[in-house]
Structure 1
Amino acid sequence: MASANDPAGRFWLGRLAPEEQVNEGSSAERIGRMEPCAIGIRLLPTSVAPWSCTARVRLRVWIPQGPDWIKSDEIDETFPLAVQDRYQQSFGCKILTDAIHAATGTEGLSAEMRVEVTPGPSGVPELLFEIVNTSPRKHQFFTDTRLYEVSLSLNGIETKPYLLEALPDSFRYDREVSAYGVNCGVVAEDGTFTTTDTIGVEKARPDYWGAGLPPLKFADLERDPFPDLSALLDALRQWGDDIWSSTSLDARAAANGWSAEMRNEARKEATKFDVEFDRIKKGLFHLSANADLLRSFRLMNRAMERASQGRGYNSWRPFQVGFILANLACIVEPKEESAIVDIVWFATGGGKTETYLGLLITAVLFDRMRGKSHGITAWTRFPLRMLSLQQLQRFADAMAAAELVRRTENIGGTSFACGFLVGDSATPNRIPVEPRFENDIDVENADEKTWAAFKRLQKCPFCGSRDIKMEFDRDLWRLDHVCENDKCYWPEKALPFHVVDEEIYRFLPTIVVGTLDKAAGIGMQGAMRGLAGPPIGLCRRPGHGFTYAPRSLRPHGCFVPGCRQTADPLPMPSQYFGPSYRLQDELHLLRDSLGAVDAHYEALFDGLQEELCGCRPKILASSATLEGYETQVDVLYRREGRVFPQQGPSTEEGFWTSSSDELMRRYIAIAPRGLTIEFVIDRMATELQNAVRSLLSDPAEVCATIGVSETKALDLLRLYGTQVVYGNTLRDLDAIQRSITSGQIRPADGKRLNHAILTGRTDFRDVAAILERLEKPEANPEERIHLITASSMMSHGVDIDRLNVMVMAGLPLGSAEFIQATARVGRRHPGIVFVIHKIGRERDAGVFRSFDKFVKHGDRFIEPIPITRKSRRVLERTIPGLQLARILAIHEPNAGKSLYTVSALRSLIRSGDLVITQEREAVMNYLGIDPAEDAKLAQDLERWFDRFERNIVKSHPDIKSGTDAAGKPMISLRDVEEQIPVFLDRR
């Protein structure tokens, strides 16, 4: 093979620098990882010295020939090793040096095998076998004295495995590692250990249906759920008796060498299984004992069958039904169940969203039957904009199906509706009569394009038509999604879907979907009381919605500009208005400062709802990790945590899911040497696009080469034609962007590379457009998106079956992000993930050497979630919003007037209707602050409330409003750090 390019600037597989060069570096260890002079295998022998084995070394060198370079034939040498019990020994120097001389015709390059004997774990000997490039750094003929494509194989030595300390010493996990690579990976096969520069790990697609389980079809469960549900329960009991019995566990303990601690752990896990079984059994009992619940469950299945049309399924997965049954108690016994947070912990792509929806539709139907004719049943919060946008259509489709069922069954109450509560320019907070702020909509000059920017449904949830337009109804002051299909099943003009914050407060849609950040708004917006309790009244003018505390422009609390109508009393008891559920998706993301701040606002919403409605909501959540969930749930919600489903006795064995023979995802770990990660990513992205374009230009030849029918070419282009390059930092993404614009990533055919960006900096409207193009790609492959650069924004909630190729620029800092990000590919079809390790980083190097375990047991590598509720710094930031929320949600409605001004608050204090000490006690109770245990926090609160009262009671020209007296409330839950202005000096 010949090359016109310097190999040192292009090739890196099996590359070894001269030892002399590495030793001259100022940081030899780090340089040795980035461009090592040796690769090796570390292992534990079963016997004592001496040790005998056979080594096989393969390598190539590049020979300068004028302006070009010629790659030598492969040098392949095998020789015996007789290792003594002393620190370091050398072997094969003459054999390897002579072989290199013979292959190149010139002396000067050399290599040798070195073996080190050191004490290993528990004092047993550990052997390190290394092949070292001993060539000089400079040579008069060989201008490049590196060795390339170096590999080492060992056989003939009996070994015992290492135990991976990063995995817990649990009966569930295989902690054994046969050998470790040094500056490389190791493949062990049939007693031979071989180094590798790319470690491949395959992950099987979960099998969600065990043998002998009932089909659980929606239609069957609507008709008569008991036969299938009873069969499922019987199968679960039988499986538990077989797997978790003392006899079975004793046999496993003996076969796998469990310690007494491991056997005791297994006994406790068996008890957890019994508890889970009893919960599911209790759910089946509630169905048989409660006619309204049974009817709700059956009608929910009818709605799910309708909502699933065109999605390729018509039945439940067993775990989904198990979760719904296990949580039916929270519908009929809400007070008892509200003290527990139920967490879904299941494989990404396993159907968690549909599981939520099944339970929620059952709950909303039951709510209507018990007399909850209006209001919010569930508020679903996602940590990221992308999550909520992707899930929105699913929720809308399910609610539409449930609404059609409700109408057919003549169940009373208002129409089921969805609200999208996001803000941050993604949706309007309000539509003003006249624009006052920069982002305000100018109604008088708005056109179709203005309103179209806020379209959030890609298709009609009732009929599936994509012919949806946005209209602003000036009479009702409402922004509507309107389906243009004349044959749509929805009989009204506007779809029951709201994207303006004030409309959500006015109409209180059945399900609110949004981002976590919006919770902070309750400290500034009195109408957010509707997310924790009852509004004040119902405007008498049809279509105007609920009313709240009056303002100067809203004399009776109606949000429609100019409305002077008085309000009717609420149409149902006040206690029914509180949401039955708060759903938190991706619970593991609520950590550090975000988690600490959210804990305070969770406490606020709980406290307000308990005060206004008599009980707290049920919290449902999903999480990517079980590590430390009990502490996290206690900090966030002051509740006990409970996980569904319980794990089986091994990672490969469970009732709800098991491994199949179908490939889900192949991971390829790559450790570049001597070249920047940017260069490797550029080459990888380019070659992947070249492969795709070869398939497009010559499908017959490519399909013949890979052994696939040519009829599948278009499918392959659709499923693998778009690659994702995932960056862990904005610096990584900026480097990739520069490579694209500068032509470093340039397909060989010279045609355009269509590129899209999905990061936190991407405008919400652009995100929606990109997702639409990915889900519904252009007919011409040349017009499609070919490459996506993405940040952690994409690691959650992007459910697109076409994304099946990812290049990851270094390991994410957290294991949870690695799991979530790589789960974006291979959701339905086999995916491939190239993980380009930043091998100079200690963590990347450590994961690389045990990459197999990292992938297979990734959830156990997830770090405990750092979070605290009792932070003085966080309390300082949250307390203004907490107290102002109490004024807006409790005291304004009680006073029947606006309490915006300090003078109004002063009057309330003087009349005795606002007692500051009682306010302090209420906030302390919300947050669970005990003056005895949390003395400093209690003192901080006492000082803050004293200052707050002084600011109100004592007149001051700069303090005119309650906000002036309290301090600025948080705008967003992420608004933790103080903001400072930055000015550009152009002098």
Structure 2
Amino acid sequence: MDDIRSRETDLGDDRFSIGIWLGGTTTPNTWTAANRALSKLKDSRENNPFLLLRCPWCGTQMGPIPKGAKGGQEAVGYMAVTKSKIRFVCPDIKCRFGLRHEREGLPIHVVDDGIYDSRPTLIIGTVDKFAMLAWQTNARSLFGLGPDGTREVSPPGLIIQDELHLISGPLGSMVGLYEPIIEDLCTDHRGPVPIRPKIIASTATIRSYGKQVLHLYGRSKVKLFPPHGLEEGQSFFSAPAKLLDGTLAPGRRYLGVMSSSLGSIQTVQVRVAAATLQGAMQIPEADRDGYWTNLNFLNSLRELGNTVSLLQSDIPDYLTGIRKRDGISPENFRWPRITMELTSRRRSDEIPKAIEQLQQKYGEDGCVDVCLASSIIEVGVDINRLGLMTIIGQPKTTAQYIQVSGRVGRRWDTRPGLVITIYGAAKPRDRSHYERFRSYHQRLYAQVEPTSVTPFALPVLFRGLHGATVAHIRQTAESKLGPDPFPSESFAIATGLVRARAAQVDPAELDTLDSVIARRAKEWSRGERTKWNANVDGGDPLQGLMRYAGSAQEPGAKVPTIWDTPTSMRNVDAECQLRITDAYAIDAVSQPKEAQ
């Protein structure tokens, strides 16, 4: 789109661009942090926070490249334009966005400061960043607001929420509390009728979607797309795949394995892993690729660690026994040579490389034998060659089970998926799923649990109401505005947005909401804070209004209440100090024998 714009005369001078808006642990949030990260990236093999590994126009490799014998590495494609800014420029001089056009570079932004300055056409982010609106006033530019809080350009008109079913539970409740503020910032009030943004949410596994959308976005009119057909499995947009003779084409097949006689689920794992590894050798080479890589899903990192140990000792030993028992020749015998771990324990810049390695086909260098994955594969991992998966233990929810098992068998016409679920005989829930295995899978999508979103429950209000209120005040007021004096009018407008949403979604909680609003107004007006930030690093602990949720107050500080304000929508456990005292120690010598 930006290339077309540059060649046309009637598409304006503003570039079509894309930005990724994530936390500081993934991408740099400031130009200072970006330059520091670039220097570290050149000096050593540090985490690459710039994400872009190939030019999206020509495919040329970008990112860290080892220098060879000299040591260190080069950051190819990441160009420091000035002492404070970094630009993506394709290293291929012939590329449309290459060195010949370095003044333009690629229209891609990963640094928050660059996103606020350029206001990209399309922004990809997470709902966690909404919490930072209470801390970062520069984010107002994303909503088309100027330094004084007035509307300069149109706000975002389209919001696309992927994987809607994940915005539920505690996370969904926090998001639902902030959404009235976000919607107001995205609403254009300049005309006679306010224009709200259009919201499109996508998900493959959801139940009671109307109630969830109401609690999240306050929208009572929801249209499901594609709509249901007149017959089961039939709609204008899709139909069951059939062979030439009219029979149903092979799809994903589920296989349940449980053994109470083997003692432990690890023993069953060893036998299943060995059978799938060696069994792939019996498949004709033309069809072997889809079932060569066994994608293992584990519900916890503890179970994943146990499986790593099995791959190093027990599984090779059992394969050796199979070889001796069945007389398998060396050329037809298989070892788990290349294993991979795909979990959150890997660095963020290693995840794309790991996914790229999973795409290596049978016979190519680096083709993975066994991949051990956690919930990181639940969304976004779309590799067509994978056809075999082993799930160890029933996942927590049916929605997760569907999402995880959907990673294999995506090319149903050439490599139908096989999902092997191993159940633990000692776990009552696993036994229940095994006993009703057929009926459960015949109505799999009907088993999806309804999501729970309660944005106006008392714990949610205590945790996030002040953060959402401050976010609206700071984004719509002058950027230099401080918390003193208490902005009663702006406070009433912000809390009024939340109250109007509560009246629409959950009127029973209005009294609770009013009491929390009154309490926060009283604390703010009596606190007489002159600074927003009360953190030790970059703030004023004595005069600040807010500190990061989960951070401990300075020992011995005798100051009025400071609001613990979230920087993320997810749980953050606060730190506490423990002191062991002997004031209540029991003297065993002086106690009667019976008391001892």
Whether TM-score is above 0.5 comes out as yes
Once the two structures are superposed, residues 798-825 of structure 1 have per-residue CA deviations (whole angstroms, 9 ceiling, x without a partner) of 0111222110112112110111000000
Corresponding residue SS for 2:86: strand
Once the two structures are superposed, residues 372-423 of structure 1 have per-residue CA deviations (whole angstroms, 9 ceiling, x without a partner) of xxxxxxxxxxxxxxxxxxxxxxxxxxxxxx3333344442242211111222
User: Displacement, 1:677?
Assistant: 1.4
Q: Select the residue among 626, 629, 632 that pairs with 2:209.
A: 629
Instruction: Pick closer, same or farther for the CA change 1:778–1:474 going to 2, 3 Å.
Output: farther
User: Displacement, 1:606?
Assistant: 0.8
Once the two structures are superposed, residues 625-671 of structure 1 have per-residue CA deviations (whole angstroms, 9 ceiling, x without a partner) of 34211110110000022210112234332221111133232211222
| Alpha-carbon contact 1:586-1:624 (below 8 Å) kept | yes
User: Displacement, 1:771?
Assistant: 1.2
Structure having greater relative contact order (Cα 8 Å, sep ≥ 6): 2
2:240 is the alignment partner of 1:642: no
Corresponding residue SS for 1:644: coil
Separation in structure 1 between the aligned mates of residue 143 and residue 578 of structure 2, nearest angstrom: 38
2:185 is the alignment partner of 1:605: no
Separation in structure 1 between the aligned mates of residue 433 and residue 507 of structure 2, nearest angstrom: 45
2:30 is the alignment partner of 1:466: no
2:535 is the alignment partner of 1:924: no
Q: How does 1:397-412 map to 2 (within 5 A)?
A: 402-410=1-9, 411-412=11-12
Corresponding residue SS for 2:94: coil
| Alpha-carbon contact 1:664-1:830 (below 8 Å) kept | yes
Q: How does 1:693-772 map to 2 (within 5 A)?
A: 695=281, 702=282, 706=283, 708=284, 712=286, 716-717=288-289, 719-745=290-316, 747-748=319-320, 753-772=337-356
Q: Which amino acid aligns with 2:158?
A: Y
Residue aligning to 1:477: 84
Once the two structures are superposed, residues 595-624 of structure 1 have per-residue CA deviations (whole angstroms, 9 ceiling, x without a partner) of 100101222211223377643321110122
Q: How does 1:221-300 map to 2 (within 5 A)?
A: none
| Alpha-carbon contact 1:728-1:812 (below 8 Å) kept | yes
Q: Select the residue among 30, 35, 43 that pairs with 1:430.
A: 30
User: Displacement, 1:945?
Assistant: 1.3
User: Displacement, 1:844?
Assistant: 3.0
User: Displacement, 1:769?
Assistant: 2.0
Separation in structure 2 between the aligned mates of residue 864 and residue 764 of structure 1, nearest angstrom: 31
Mean Cα deviation higher: 417-426 or 459-468: 459-468
2:549 is the alignment partner of 1:974: no
Separation in structure 1 between the aligned mates of residue 231 and residue 183 of structure 2, nearest angstrom: 38
Instruction: Pick closer, same or farther for the CA change 1:443–1:403 going to 2, 3 Å.
Output: closer
User: Displacement, 1:727?
Assistant: 0.9
2:133 is the alignment partner of 1:522: yes
Q: How does 1:208-607 map to 2 (within 5 A)?
A: 402-410=1-9, 411-432=11-32, 441=36, 447=42, 453-467=48-62, 469-475=76-82, 477-490=84-97, 492-493=101-102, 494-536=105-147, 574-576=152-154, 578-607=155-184
Q: Which amino acid aligns with 1:887?
A: I
Q: Which amino acid aligns with 1:415?
A: R
Instruction: Pick closer, same or farther for the CA change 1:637–1:808 going to 2, 3 Å.
Output: same
Once the two structures are superposed, residues 726-757 of structure 1 have per-residue CA deviations (whole angstroms, 9 ceiling, x without a partner) of 11233322221222244445654585632222
Separation in structure 1 between the aligned mates of residue 423 and residue 274 of structure 2, nearest angstrom: 18
Corresponding residue SS for 1:968: strand
Instruction: Pick closer, same or farther for the CA change 1:827–1:624 going to 2, 3 Å.
Output: same
User: Displacement, 1:832?
Assistant: 0.9
Q: Which amino acid aligns with 2:133?
A: I
User: Displacement, 1:883?
Assistant: 2.4
Corresponding residue SS for 2:418: strand
Once the two structures are superposed, residues 489-534 of structure 1 have per-residue CA deviations (whole angstroms, 9 ceiling, x without a partner) of 3363221111112211111111111222222111111112233332
Q: Which amino acid aligns with 1:447?
A: K
Separation in structure 2 between the aligned mates of residue 615 and residue 658 of structure 1, nearest angstrom: 37
Mean Cα deviation higher: 727-736 or 949-958: 949-958
Instruction: Pick closer, same or farther for the CA change 1:512–1:824 going to 2, 3 Å.
Output: same
Residue aligning to 1:941: 517
Residue aligning to 1:651: 232
| Alpha-carbon contact 1:522-1:528 (below 8 Å) kept | yes
| Alpha-carbon contact 2:258-2:268 (below 8 Å) kept | no
Residue aligning to 2:550: none
2:403 is the alignment partner of 1:792: no
Separation in structure 2 between the aligned mates of residue 415 and residue 615 of structure 1, nearest angstrom: 25
Instruction: Pick closer, same or farther for the CA change 1:501–1:684 going to 2, 3 Å.
Output: same
Instruction: Pick closer, same or farther for the CA change 1:448–1:534 going to 2, 3 Å.
Output: farther
**Over the residues paired in the alignment, what is the CA RMSD in angstroms?**
3.3
Separation in structure 2 between the aligned mates of residue 738 and residue 445 of structure 1, nearest angstrom: 34
Instruction: Pick closer, same or farther for the CA change 1:451–1:978 going to 2, 3 Å.
Output: closer
| Alpha-carbon contact 2:457-2:509 (below 8 Å) kept | no
Corresponding residue SS for 1:643: coil
Once the two structures are superposed, residues 459-495 of structure 1 have per-residue CA deviations (whole angstroms, 9 ceiling, x without a partner) of 3222233356332424173333321223323363221
Instruction: Pick closer, same or farther for the CA change 1:774–1:535 going to 2, 3 Å.
Output: farther
User: Displacement, 1:966?
Assistant: 5.6
More helix by share: 1
Instruction: Pick closer, same or farther for the CA change 1:603–1:920 going to 2, 3 Å.
Output: closer
Once the two structures are superposed, residues 67-114 of structure 1 have per-residue CA deviations (whole angstroms, 9 ceiling, x without a partner) of xxxxxxxxxxxxxxxxxxxxxxxxxxxxxxxxxxxxxxxxxxxxxxxx
Once the two structures are superposed, residues 247-283 of structure 1 have per-residue CA deviations (whole angstroms, 9 ceiling, x without a partner) of xxxxxxxxxxxxxxxxxxxxxxxxxxxxxxxxxxxxx
Separation in structure 2 between the aligned mates of residue 599 and residue 519 of structure 1, nearest angstrom: 11
Instruction: Pick closer, same or farther for the CA change 1:522–1:495 going to 2, 3 Å.
Output: same
Instruction: Pick closer, same or farther for the CA change 1:969–1:459 going to 2, 3 Å.
Output: same
Separation in structure 2 between the aligned mates of residue 476 and residue 441 of structure 1, nearest angstrom: 11
Once the two structures are superposed, residues 697-749 of structure 1 have per-residue CA deviations (whole angstroms, 9 ceiling, x without a partner) of xxxxx4xxx5x4x5x2xx623x3221111112333222212222444456545
2:255 is the alignment partner of 1:672: no
More strand by share: 1
Corresponding residue SS for 1:464: coil
Q: Which amino acid aligns with 2:368?
A: I
Separation in structure 1 between the aligned mates of residue 362 and residue 110 of structure 2, nearest angstrom: 28
Separation in structure 1 between the aligned mates of residue 109 and residue 45 of structure 2, nearest angstrom: 16
Mean Cα deviation higher: 599-608 or 422-431: 422-431
Separation in structure 1 between the aligned mates of residue 530 and residue 62 of structure 2, nearest angstrom: 60
| Alpha-carbon contact 2:336-2:369 (below 8 Å) kept | no
Count of residue pairs brought into register by the alignment: 515
Identity of aligned residues (%): 27
User: Displacement, 1:593?
Assistant: 0.5
Instruction: Pick closer, same or farther for the CA change 1:963–1:824 going to 2, 3 Å.
Output: same
Corresponding residue SS for 1:659: coil
Unaligned runs of 5+ in 1: 1-401, 537-547, 550-569, 696-701
Q: Which amino acid aligns with 1:403?
A: D
Separation in structure 2 between the aligned mates of residue 774 and residue 738 of structure 1, nearest angstrom: 21
Corresponding residue SS for 1:664: coil
Separation in structure 1 between the aligned mates of residue 355 and residue 336 of structure 2, nearest angstrom: 20
Separation in structure 1 between the aligned mates of residue 5 and residue 458 of structure 2, nearest angstrom: 49
Q: Which amino acid aligns with 1:816?
A: A
Q: Which amino acid aligns with 2:467?
A: G
Residue aligning to 1:100: none
Unaligned runs of 5+ in 2: 64-75, 243-248, 321-332, 535-539, 548-560, 581-596
Instruction: Pick closer, same or farther for the CA change 1:768–1:481 going to 2, 3 Å.
Output: same
Q: Which amino acid aligns with 2:544?
A: S
Tell me the TM-score normalised to structure 1 length: 0.48
Residue aligning to 2:585: none
Residue aligning to 1:808: 391
Separation in structure 1 between the aligned mates of residue 83 and residue 8 of structure 2, nearest angstrom: 29
